[in-house]
A = this chain, B = another copy of it.
C-alpha cells in the first residue's frame, strides 16, 4: 500500500493538507472520572487552532468544559493524524462573524442558528502524530508541546 515510510516532512505536509481540507474528525473526550466518549464532528482550522461546535450539555461538551482536554483523530484507520490539544470554550456569539461564516461554509452546519445551547470549542494542538501502517510508527511524532519537530520542507 505504501512505498516505505514517509519522511517527517511528508507527514507534516499531509497533516497540514488534512487540517486545511478535511471536514470531519473523531473527537475523544473523557469525564473527570474516566468515562471515555467518542463522536465524529465537523471542524474548521484557521492555521493555528481547530474549531468545533457542539451542545454544552452533551457528553462531549460536558467533558471538554470539565477537563479542557481532547484527543482528535483525522483521516482513516490506516492513514491517521492524531492531535492532543488544549480546549478553550467560547459562547456561541463570542467569535467574529466571519469566523462563524467560514465554519458554516466549510461544514455545512451553522451552530449560531441553533441557539445558546451550543458552544465553540477552540483546540490548540500540543502534540501531533501521523502514521499509516506499522512501518510508520517510528517518527510518528510531528509536534510536541505545541512545537513542530518536523520541518515543512525536506
Contact = CB atoms under 8 A, between A and B. Distances in A.
Contacts of A24: 77-78
Contact of A36 (B25, B30, B40, B78): B30
Copies in the complex: 2
Interface residues of A, number: 29
A73 B24 CA distance: 14
Contacts of A29: 36
Contacts of A77: 24-26, 40
Given A30-B35, A33-B34, 15 more contacts: A24-B78, A26-B26, A26-B73, A28-B28, A29-B36, A31-B34, A32-B33, A32-B34, A36-B37, A36-B63, A36-B67, A38-B38, A38-B72, A38-B73, A39-B82
